[in-house]
Amino acid sequence: MAYVPVPKDLSKVRTKIIFNLTLRQIICFVLAAVVGFPFYFLTKGIIGVDVAATIMIVLMLPFFLLALYEKDGQPLEKIIINYIRTKQNPKVRPYVTENMYQYLKDEGKRERGRQLEAKRENQTKKRKKVKPKG
């Protein structure tokens, strides 16, 4: 009886289409071929075969990296975008919160101050009402 290995984490399983490649990889390889091969065939007579092949490889390399490189489940373009975002944002992010306990404490002090002020006003009004006989 034949046994087929089944991965435990199915989120990392990618659907393969042709030659055990995903659709993303096929698209990137086709784009690399569309950019690289015409450049090679158009320039090999002018700059030489070795230089044309080297430049073709350099032109195709970004497409290969986009097709194959993946870190922590993220493709290369997401990694680059996240890197740019972190460079654009400020380096120091101050930790600022609203301390509700401090707010309540301050509000309590203000309320107590209002009560004391009202009490003083009442005492001064009573003193004004009661006039000493003299």
Taking 70 as the threshold, does the pLDDT of residue 12 lie above it? no
- Is residue 132 pLDDT above 70, yes or no? no
pLDDT in tens, 112-125: 888 888 888 888 87
DSSP assignment of 67-98, as one string?
HH-EETTEEHHHHHHHHHHHHHS-S-------
Q: Which residue has the higher pLDDT, 17 or 48?
A: 48
Q: What's the mean pLDDT in 31-46? A: 94
pTM above 0.85, yes or no: no
Write out pLDDT tens, residues 50-99. 999 999 999 999 999 999 898 988 889 899 999 999 888 877 777 777 77
- Tell me the pLDDT band of 130, cut-offs 50, 70 and 90: low
The 8 Å CB, 24+ separation contacts for 21-27 are 24/67, 24/75, 25/67, 25/68, 27/67
